[in-house]
Structure formats: structure tokens, C-alpha cells
């Protein structure tokens, strides 16, 4: 066996389905060339000669996946939460994103964002940049150095934004093509994702052009969908040919169905929209903290799981104030309890197992075979030391995991591996 093959020993925890969490005390997970060789209670004979990294009583879980965040909103964390979405964008977000026209600001702010993401429990993320091609490249360069696996999008917007943050339609198309061309061959870990901001920011003709770019370059797509009632009503006015919001993306060929797509929020999706999300295999990024901060509401995630939709979690930094995916998990549980209590008594709250699945395998699937330790999955792992989360008596593994999710932070992560490599 070569040195790209080793075993991690510790308390191994991973999901196989939303309802099935595997917990193995003092077990082994084998890494072969960045891919999991499987989980074992005792190391099989064929692996007897490989290096064993023994993490003792620590927890070993798959790396967490953030399906939706905005890097340029790092400087907005923790303030400006007195408004709903559309006013928040105009008052706080657009002026902040405009600063990324300046290279020095982009370097400084993206440097801070990247540093925090590197230390966080996140190993993979879908990330919005801004409309600025140069700043987007700065962000991608910084992310590449972290060896995290990220999809990054230069944002497209050609209407309903202040002049300082609005592109002409052709300019948006050309800058996107130039961005794609400039990065060719530059990155190993960082990849482009097409990013129309949302329908209110993109004219029909820009959407058609982005649809053409998607087909030619086979890019994945990220955007926002049915987050806020005012936004949904506005899309009806802006795009009368669409029967519902998601259809406005579908008309441009940017809504799943062979075009890998992740849509943030889906708080107030109509039944037809949910049906199309399912039919086209669109991923839903559930962003509970943002939905609270911007008073957007509560996404019916129980229904989405029952109906077999692809669902993962997003921090939506900085609609969400924290980029911690531990926090996203506990928030997802908490808002689902309010939904059950206050909105729909048939929608049982999300369980710990379910949110763990969403933050690992659910979102991980957007990146391929990611988010589990089953053989054949990418070896993305976190080693967690929960000793600092004091408790007066010994606890079981499930209890310890729950406390890490509710009380843990980056300081509890002692090692972070992506495709077998420590970062
Ligand atoms: N919709 C369009 N842009 C944004 C954004 O930056 N944040 C959130 N939460 N929703 C959006
Ligand atoms: Fe967002």
C-alpha cells in the first residue's frame, strides 16, 4: 500500500440515508487516494500494513457542505437585519458589494472571508462573488490556496440595481465569457458556477444568453428562488410569461433537467414549482438563519424530504450572520419546530439525523459522491475534539454529536481533510 492510503481511527459518524446515522466507537475509516475505502470496526487484513492516524476518543465526521453563501457579504455579518429582503439588498447589500470594484478592498475582505472559511467545519461550498470579474478572480485565487472544494460564481445582474452595481446585458454576457476564458487551466480545486443573482436582477434577454453559455460550457447554476413574498409578486410582474417563479429560470434552460442547479431558499414555492423542482432534479439550499434574519419565513423542508427533493443546507452568509454549518444544522431543527407548532401540525420537526444528513450527504451530492464515509465517497473528514464542551459525566456518541452541533465551533476542529489531504 502506498502512502496515499491510510486509516483514521476514532469515533466514526456518517449518514447513509436521512433516517440512518451510523455511529462506530473506536472504528476505522480508510482513505485510498482521496476516496473512502469504507468504515470498519476492525481493520481488515488487506489494510493491516497501512498507516493508522489514531485520534483516540475524538469524533470523526464527514466535512460539511454549504450550498449557498455570499463571500462579499462577509463585511455585513451581524448587522443590517432590520429589513426584509428587497430593502436589505438596496440599503446594505448592494452598496457593500459595490466596494469589490476596488482591488485592495476585495483582497482585504476576501482574505478575511477565506481565512474564516478555511477554519470552519465547511469543506465544500457554493459561493456567490459579485459582478466584478477581477475581484472574483481574487476570491478564486484565495480559495484555491485553501484546497477547499468550492464552486464560485461571478454574479450577473443587468436590471433593478443601482447604476454602480448594474451591468449592460451584453457586458454581463461578455464579462462572464471572459471570466471563464481567463480561468481556464488555472484551478484544481475551484470551479466556476453560473450565477444569475435572481430574476429581478436579470432581464429575459440576459437569461437567454446565460442559458446559451450554460449549454456551451456545461456549467452548474446557482441562484435564489421564492425567498420572500414581495420578491415573488415582483417576479410575477417582471416575467408575466412564467406561471410561477421557477418557470422564469426554466424558460432559459437554467432549472435542472441536465443543468445542475441549486436554488437557495424555496420558502414559499407554489405546488407547481415544487413539482418542477422534483421533476428537474433541482437542489434546494435551505438557509434557516437567513430566513429568520430577513423575516422571509420557514421553508417546508419536511415536505421537501417527504417528496424526495434534493435538499442541503446553506449559511447564506450574510443574510445568515454565521458561516458555521453547525449553526445551520441547529437552526434548521429549531425553525422546523416552529413550523410544526405554528404552521402545520402534520409537518414533524427535523431530527438531528436528518439535519446531519442535509449538511453532509444531502448537499454533498451536488458535488458528486461526497458527504459520507461509505466506500467510494470522497474522503472529506473533520476530526472534532469536544472536550472543551464540558459535561459533568460521560456521554454517548449521539449526545456528543448533538452538543457539537449546538455548542461547537471552529475551535473544536483539530483536523480537516479534503479528498484525503489535510488542509
Ligand atoms: N436574493 C437576491 N440577492 C440576494 C442576496 O444577496 N441574499 C439573499 N438572501 N437573497 C438574495
Ligand atoms: Fe443568498
**Ligand 1, CB within 6 Å, residue ranges:** 70, 85, 89, 93, 197-198, 224, 227, 290, 316, 319
**DSSP state, residue 198:** -
Q: What pLDDT score does 4 carry?
A: 87
Residues 377 and 36: beta-carbon distance below 8 Å: yes
Specify the pLDDT at position 410: 98
Element (H, E) at 404: helix 397-407
In ligand 1, the atom with minimum distance to the C-alpha of 70 is 6
Domain boundaries, the chain: 5-62+371-422, 64-367
Q: Which of 89, 153, 234 best tests ligand 1's pocket when mutated (most atoms within 8 Å of CB)? A: 89
Ligand nearest to the backbone CA of 267: 1
Helix, strand or coil, per DSSP, at residue 251: coil
What does the pLDDT read at residue 339?
98
Whether the Cβ atoms of residue 140 and residue 151 lie closer than 8 Å to each other: no
Overall residue count recorded for the chain in this entry: 423
- Nearest ligand, measured from the Cα of 228: 1
CATH match for 5-62+371-422 among 2.130.10.10, 3.50.50.60, 3.30.420.40, 2.30.40.10: 2.30.40.10
* pLDDT tens figures, 268-319: 999 999 999 999 999 999 999 999 999 999 999 999 999 999 999 999 999 9
Q: What was the pLDDT predicted at 300?
A: 98
pLDDT in tens, 245-265: 999 999 999 999 999 999 999
Residues 276, 29 contacting (CB under 8 angstroms): no
β pairing state of 310-313 and 149-153: unpaired
Report yes or no: 113 and 146 within 8 Å, Cβ to Cβ: no
Residue 238 has what pLDDT? Answer: 98
Question: If you compute the radius of gyration of the chain from its CA atoms, what whole number of angstroms results?
Answer: 21
Contacts of 278 (CB under 8 A, 6+ apart): 307, 308, 309
Using most ligand atoms within 8 A of CB, pick from 316, 323, 328 the residue to mutate for ligand 1. Answer: 316
Joined together, the cell numbers standing for residue 89 give 439588498
Helix (H, G, I), strand (E, B) or coil at 90: helix
Number of C-beta neighbours around residue 287 at 10 A:
32
CA of 334 to the centre of ligand 1 (A): 22
Q: Which residues of the chain have pLDDT under 70?
A: 1-3
Exposed (0-12), middle (13-18) or buried (19+): which is 415, by Cβ within 10 Å? middle
127 contacts 317 by C-beta, under 8 angstroms: no
Return the pLDDT at 2. 56
Please give the helix or strand (H or E) that residue 333 lies within, else none: helix 325-338
Fold of the domain spanning 64-367: TIM Barrel (3.20.20)
- Ligand with the closest atom to the CA of 314: 2
H runs (alpha helix) in 40-168 = 85-88, 94-98, 103-119, 133-146
Amino acid at each position: 500500500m502506498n502512502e496515499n492510503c491510510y486509516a483514521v481511527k476514532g469515533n466514526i459518524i456518517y449518514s447513509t440515508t436521512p433516517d440512518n446515522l451510523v455511529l462506530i466507537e473506536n472504528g476505522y475509516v480508510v482513505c485510498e487516494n482521496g476516496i473512502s475505502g469504507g468504515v470498519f470496526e476492525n481493520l481488515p487484513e488487506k489494510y493491516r500494513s497501512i498507516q493508522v492516524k489514531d485520534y483516540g476518543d475524538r469524533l470523526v465526521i464527514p466535512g460539511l457542505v454549504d450550498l449557498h453563501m455570499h463571500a462579499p457579504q462577509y463585511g455585513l455579518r451581524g448587522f443590517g437585519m432590520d429589513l426584509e429582503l428587497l430593502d436589505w439588498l438596496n440599503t446594505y447589500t448592494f452598496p457593500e458589494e459595490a466596494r469589490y470594484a476596488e482591488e485592495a478592498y476585495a483582497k482585504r475582505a476576501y482574505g478575511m472571508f477565506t481565512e474564516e472559511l478555511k477554519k470552519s467545519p465547511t469543506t465544500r461550498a457554493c459561493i456567490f462573488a459579485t459582478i466584478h470579474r477581477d475581484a472574483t478572480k481574487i476570491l478564486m485565487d484565495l480559495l484555491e490556496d485553501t484546497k477547499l472544494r468550492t464552486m464560485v460564481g461571478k454574479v450577473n445582474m443587468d436590471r433593478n440595481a443601482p447604476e454602480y452595481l448594474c451591468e449592460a446585458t451584453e457586458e454581463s454576457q461578455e464579462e462572464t465569457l471572459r471570466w471563464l476564458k481567463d480561468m481556464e487551466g488555472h484551478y484544481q480545486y475551484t470551479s466556476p458556477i453560473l450565477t444569475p443573482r435572481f430574476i429581478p436582477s436579470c432581464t429575459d434577454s440576459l437569461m437567454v444568453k446565460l442559458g446559451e453559455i450554460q449549454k456551451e460550457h456545461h456549467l452548474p447554476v446557482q441562484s435564489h428562488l421564492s425567498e420572500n413574498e414581495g420578491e415573488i409578486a415582483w417576479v410575477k410582474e417582471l416575467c408575466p410569461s412564467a406561471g410561477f417563479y421557477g418557470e422564469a429560470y426554466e424558460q432559459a434552460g437554467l432549472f435542472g433537467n441536465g443543468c445542475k442547479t441549486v436554488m437557495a431558499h424555496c420558502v414559499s414555492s407554489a405546488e407547481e414549482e415544487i413539482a418542477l423542482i422534483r421533476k428537474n432534479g433541482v437542489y434546494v439550499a435551505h438557509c434557516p438563519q437567513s430566513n429568520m434574519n430577513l423575516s422571509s419565513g420557514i421553508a417546508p423542508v419536511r415536505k421537501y424530504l417527504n417528496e424526495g427533493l434534493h435538499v442541503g443546507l446553506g449559511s447564506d452568509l450574510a443574510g445568515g450572520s454565521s458561516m458555521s454549518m453547525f449553526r445551520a444544522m441547529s437552526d434548521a431543527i429549531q425553525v422546523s419546530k416552529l413550523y410544526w407548532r405554528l404552521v402545520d401540525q402534520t409537518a414533524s420537526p427535523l431530527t438531528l439525523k436528518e439535519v446531519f444528513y442535509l449538511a453532509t450527504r444531502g448537499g454533498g451530492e451536488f458535488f458528486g459522491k461526497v458527504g459520507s464515509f461509505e466506500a467510494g465517497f470522497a474522503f472529506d473528514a473533520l476530526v472534532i475534539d469536544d472536550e472543551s464542551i464540558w459535561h459533568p459525566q460521560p456521554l454517548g456518541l449521539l449526545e456528543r454529536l448533538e452538543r457539537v452541533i449546538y455548542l461547537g465551533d471552529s475551535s473544536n476542529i483539530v483536523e480537516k481533510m479534503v479528498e484525503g489531504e489535510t488542509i
